[in-house]
Chains A and B, each alone.
Chain A
Amino acid sequence: MGQTKDETRKNTGDMSQEPQIVFQNVVKYFGNTTAVEKMNLTVKKGEFIAIMGSSGCGKTTTLRMLAGMETPSEGEIRLNGQRINELKPSERNTPMVWQSLALFPFLNVIQNVEFGLKMRGIGTEERRRRSLEWLSRMAIEEFAERSIDQLSGGQRQRVALARALVTEPPVLLLDEPLSALDANLVVRMQGVLSRLQKELGITFVYVTHSQSEAFAMADRVVIMSKGVVEQVGSPQEVYRKPASRFVANFVGSNNILNGDVSAIDTSSVIIETEIGAVRANLPTDHEYSMGVHLGLVISADAMDLSMTEEQSKDNQFRCRLVSESFVGAMVTMLVETDSGIELKIQLFQKELDQIGFSENTSSSGTFLWVSWSKSSVYILPQ
């Protein structure tokens, strides 16, 4: 759903110009296994796109095909309108930041950064000048003459970035570049990357298994599973309108319910689920009939809580508190409905105070009323 909407917007907005990167029916086999299946994807110039999925989903293979380390078995990949399937890695200008960083251990910092320029036959002086510029841009010019093993993880990361960007490429590929850093540094480097991408205005293709990294930086995310693109959309779309059950599960903090349509009126549809009847908005273009099986997604932060039963709620269920955990100002609660199904709820601490919920009254087993509006129920595409 999110996907189709996104496609139409792009097609109308960008007719004049071919997108920078196009994957057209790309398939990649390794022996008998299919690593990437019928991939269709377009990336606009200057976009920050994150390809996300668990390990073995084909995200790294996709990136390696873009860099030329793998050749597609079928289909076509175009970069700036030119077919690149047959180009050698050295004939594309698609530098990559590697998960292992792959810095050359026998070269010092500035020699590492100069490498790409040297391979392009650029003279010693200009090479040095441009590399120094990038080192200072990454705030590591003081380490120019150091050897790689004398640097910290974050500094190496910056060297790897400078090395990839010094040739001023149209596209930068990043393969889980932050996976080896500790949490604090990850947040800092996310800031560095986002800012860099905006300043340079070049396309970033970022492969990660981390939802927080992808959502924090990307304009659009691609969610892959077992070689198949499950959804392409902005982080909000993927989060609010998951295109499939897989995506709904993958992006976490969602409650997923299943049931059959038991009633339809002019504005809403009622689905008999495992926790009872749930009321949802009736989509205008619906094709639901009685008894159709549907999957529902209600995100944890769309749920409300009260200590007593309230009137005029679209959906309201009595639950028992199972557990709660606090992260900063956010509280995540697990509750169990009378029918024994667990629901996840996310609220601000402030909201909890307002409804008179406090540490003292909240022992596990306390009865609460959980409610949500019918508009926050998202019906998964069938």
Chain B
Amino acid sequence: MTLEAPPTIAASNARASIALRVLPPGLYAGRGYVVLERAFRVYRRSWMVIFSGFFEPLFYLFALGTGLHKLVGTVLGPGGHPISYTAFIAPALLASSAMNGAVYDSTMNVFFKMKYAKLYDAMLATSLGPLDVALGEIGWALFRGGLYAAGFMIVMLVMGLMASAWAVLMLPAALLIACAFGAVGMAVTSYMKSFQDLDLVQVAILPMFLFSGTFYSLSVYPAWLRVVVECLPLHHGIAMLRGLNSGVLDGAMIAHVAYFLVMAAVGLVVTARRLDRLLLR
């Protein structure tokens, strides 16, 4: 039997060397993409599961856009410009679906794979490290979120809901939102003990979806409540996409992006450390 491993290890070690300087040894082998590759193989057969997630925001858009639009008509969008109610909620629904997709993947799916399928135990028995696993799984959540976002944006384009050329940037922005929620979702999941704990995720997600200014402007809230909502991540996602769709870019954009970058980084580091604690003990 010949051993193919040494040259590949050398190559991956070289790639990983930069990362190893900032991370504890053994946390990262520079091969998170193989975890992503696994996900592609799994979902190649069950693409219907993926497809279904595409419809959720569309149903909201049609139900509220056509139904409520008749009652509401035009509202004031970013920068105080009047826009149709459908165009007002469309970017918010995009942000929400990016969140929902990433959270679903990184909580339900990850919990099952961690506790029942023992998938990560199998991965960590190989030369992969916990950060490879975390990056690969979050990468998958990201790809899936990107698919949904692209599909939804095509619908927006067809329906004439895109108000500016900046709207194209909603795609990377939606990916950033998905990335941050995926990373934090996986970190939170690593603390969960049973399927009942997962219900708590919905308790956090559903109110955030309803009250983060998805369907109306935050100006309806009293000042204190507005401050609370402005601290929530989905609010930043909605404000970011709504601004991009209308082409109203201000300093707040940088704050939104920074918010999600920090959120993603914290989630990723906590996830890698928790996987290390949970599975490598």
A binds B: no
**Chain A interfacial positions (CB closer than 8 Å to B):** none
